[in-house]
Structure 1
Amino acid sequence: MAFTAPLTLTLNLILVTLSTTSCDPYYNYNKILNPIDSCWRAKSNNWATNRRALADCSVGFGKNAIGGKFGATYFVTDPSDDPTNPKPGTLRYGVIQPNPLWIVFARSMVITPKNELMISSYKTIDGRGAKVEIAYGPCITIQHASHVIIHGISIHDCRPGKSGLVRDSSIHVGHRRGSDGDGIDIFASTDIWIDHCYLSRCYDGLIDVIHASTDITISNNYFTQHDKVMLVGHDDQNYEDKAIKVTVAFNRFGPGLIQRMPSRVRLGYAHVANNRYDTWGMYAIGGSAYPTIFSEGNYFMAPYSPYIKQVTKRENKKNGWTNWKWRSYRDRFMNGAYFVPSGYGSIAPSYTRAQFFKVADGSMVPALTSDAGPLNCYPGRAC
């Protein structure tokens, strides 16, 4: 049975002491952690001995994403790439295997895919303990897949894919028309969690959630230097997108962003909670075709221009936008920022008890998002 979150919530902030062994006393510090981070960062100084605890820590619609929790550990040792015949030890070889895998990196590396990187079901890409970049080529596609976790990597300067052959499983090579140049393209997929990543400067979008993809959580990421940040929903006439449910939480939308944080949300539902917005070039949150958007506990810093202080933008207003359910609750509006609400009736997310999380007042967001992006994680130390 669905559990509908009440609007009158108080956040029991978790003030934890992250410490290392006694031989490293200067690493001790206190932090206020959001519910995702407190789930795994506060439990153990040595995260590296239990990496898979991360899989229990998502919140919102992507809570059930388990990635490769119950699979073997696969080590990426080679940054090279071959789209049709990948070598063992490369990232592409790992992500196309049929069995669940928890993928880690033997060292820091920059991976430049030669064509789009197709991720199969039940995979975790875990960048903790290394500096991992996927950049300067076609980047990540999650298509007709489920239970994928991507954590702790940088994805930037992605380019369109080429028309040609790409291996999408260990037994199949197929022709691809060429990807759009997104950082992460989530297509007809379910139970996806993108956490603590850095995304910037891609040819098209940074993250696209399209073609009825659902049960998605996008959290703790750092977005910067980009135009169209996050597209939710493919087309105003694609009624399958009514299935879309996405949680966007604890992210930092940093300098140099223009629009779509997120936008469109065509026919679907977006819970946008406890994110920090460091201004925008056009607007922050947008939509078209009867989207439902619940903005809760966010921190909006408007740009200095008096003409673009509105957080929201409705596309295709002729479709009765005053009936679209858009609501703001406990958001903080700085420098003249404002949100235009619309619609009537309940808008709270229909989370299950497992998916539900307490959302803080917007005033707490600078603290809760202070570690957005990849963390500096070292074995034997708290992350």
Structure 2
Amino acid sequence: MGSLPYADVDSTLRAIAGQAEGFGRFAIGGLHGPLFPVTTLADDGPGSLREACRRPGPGWIVFKVSGVIQLSSYLNVGSHKTIDGRGERVKLTGKGLRLKECENVIVCNMEFEGGRGHDVDGIQIKPNSKHIWIDRCSFKDYDDGLIDITRGSTDITVSRCYFAQHDKTMLIGADPSHVGDRCIRVTIHHCFFDGTRQRHPRLRFGKVHLYNNYTKHWDVYAVCASVEAQIYSQCNIYEAGKKKKTFEFYTEKAADREEARSGLIRSEGDLFLDGAQPCLLTGIGETSVFHPSEYYQTWTMEAPSDSLKHVLQICAGWQPIPQPVDHHS
């Protein structure tokens, strides 16, 4: 049994900054800014999360209240912000977070449930956002996606998150016409996709490293590689329900190419349970899939096993952990 990543990030409040593994490893959030305490569950106004997110400059947002914040519209998050839910239990509902043309954002230990309306995602990352880390968040039941990463947003890590009661879980790269999405790079690890139907993730154009995730009882497919996608699936657990096909390949035509193409998935050390079928395009370009070591040197990974499955069911998503002490304040 290997050690889980981030063993020490709860030692002090800001110890989490810059500690992500993978493509989001440079996200420091609001490391160099003051504490912004959220003191009300109101959608806007003094002491609200919305007011804290719109403040200029870096800031580390913490909560002095627990409960549900009913968002009437998307909540725009500015650059150099940490939304840190440790120490309380805060659920966002109605709408979600929008990370638009921003950088250095960390969202930690929050719940997202019941987002309503056309194009409403739990966390929408677009356009041109980078250095983002989403850690230990729980997502369920939105009208569109739970996390969408599109329009040239890149260098993002999603870790230790829990996804449930949803259809189109995670879309990365929105449309074959957006060829600028070739820059997208995302790491997804130690997440638990619990009976969500599809898109764990669905990728166009970019590069995604998946490791030590547990994807259970999907209803369409587990992971989809579409136009020019490269997915490196490493030591994940895929446990089938009624639907056995794990990997799907959709062919689409990039706006600047003559021929339609699908994507590529390289599976290494994955565990396929209850009849899960890899159905890889064997021999076709698997070697063309990037290797994570071309971009970062280390990541915390273990062989997929019953013990890993057990740990992910407990450790993914919102956690009842105390708020660490802040030595900056």
TM-score relative to the length of structure 1: 0.78
Supply the distance in 2 between the matched residues of 1:139 and 1:192 (Cα, whole angstroms): 16
Is 1:131 equivalent to 2:70 in the alignment? Answer: no
Aligned length: 312
Alignment-derived partner of residue 52 in structure 1:
14
> What is the deviation of 1:313?
1.1
Contact (CA 8 Å) 2:41, 2:65: kept in 1 or not?
no
Supply the distance in 1 between the matched residues of 2:46 and 2:111 (Cα, whole angstroms): 22
> Following superposition of structure 1 onto structure 2, how do residues 114-125 of structure 1 map, counting pairs within 5 Å?
114-125=72-83
Contact (CA 8 Å) 2:13, 2:323: kept in 1 or not?
no
Alignment-derived partner of residue 173 in structure 1:
none
Alignment-derived partner of residue 344 in structure 1:
286
**CA 1:299–1:129: 2 relative to 1, 3 Å:** same
Q: Secondary structure at the match of 1:56?
A: coil
> 2:39 is matched with which residue: 77, 99, 102?
77
> 2:125 is matched with which residue: 169, 179, 186?
186
Q: Provide, for residues 133-183 of structure 1, a one-character-per-residue CA deviation record: whole Å limited to 9, x for no partner.
A: 101x221110000011000010010123xxxxxxxxxxxxxxxxxx71111
**CA 1:61–1:379: 2 relative to 1, 3 Å:** closer
Supply the distance in 1 between the matched residues of 2:189 and 2:235 (Cα, whole angstroms): 10
Supply the distance in 2 between the matched residues of 1:310 and 1:183 (Cα, whole angstroms): 27
> What is the deviation of 1:279?
1.2
In structure 1, stretches of 5+ residues that fail to align are: 1-11, 15-33, 42-46, 161-178
Judge which range, 179-188 or 209-218, deviates more.
Answer: 179-188
Supply the distance in 2 between the matched residues of 1:239 and 1:352 (Cα, whole angstroms): 21
Supply the distance in 1 between the matched residues of 2:209 and 2:29 (Cα, whole angstroms): 22
Contact (CA 8 Å) 2:84, 2:108: kept in 1 or not?
yes
**Greater Rg over alpha carbons, structure:** 1
Alignment-derived partner of residue 359 in structure 1:
301
Alignment-derived partner of residue 373 in structure 1:
317
> Following superposition of structure 1 onto structure 2, how do residues 22-101 of structure 1 map, counting pairs within 5 Å?
34-36=4-6, 38-41=7-10, 47=11, 50-82=12-44, 87-101=45-59
**CA 1:379–1:122: 2 relative to 1, 3 Å:** closer
Judge which range, 340-349 or 200-209, deviates more.
Answer: 340-349
Is 1:281 equivalent to 2:256 in the alignment? Answer: no
Q: Secondary structure at the match of 1:258?
A: coil
Q: Secondary structure at the match of 1:260?
A: coil
Contact (CA 8 Å) 1:197, 1:373: kept in 2 or not?
yes
> What is the deviation of 1:367?
4.2
> What is the deviation of 1:350?
4.4
Supply the distance in 1 between the matched residues of 2:176 and 2:295 (Cα, whole angstroms): 28
> What is the deviation of 1:262?
0.3
* Residue identity matched to 2:2: L
Supply the distance in 1 between the matched residues of 2:198 and 2:41 (Cα, whole angstroms): 33
Contact (CA 8 Å) 1:191, 1:215: kept in 2 or not?
yes
Supply the distance in 2 between the matched residues of 1:356 and 1:246 (Cα, whole angstroms): 15
> What is the deviation of 1:119?
0.4
> What is the deviation of 1:278?
1.7
Alignment-derived partner of residue 152 in structure 1:
109
> What is the deviation of 1:121?
0.3
CA RMSD of aligned residues (A): 1.9
Contact (CA 8 Å) 1:139, 1:159: kept in 2 or not?
no
Contact (CA 8 Å) 2:2, 2:301: kept in 1 or not?
no
Q: Secondary structure at the match of 1:234?
A: coil
> Following superposition of structure 1 onto structure 2, how do residues 221-260 of structure 1 map, counting pairs within 5 Å?
221-255=161-195, 257-260=196-199
TM-score relative to the length of structure 2: 0.90
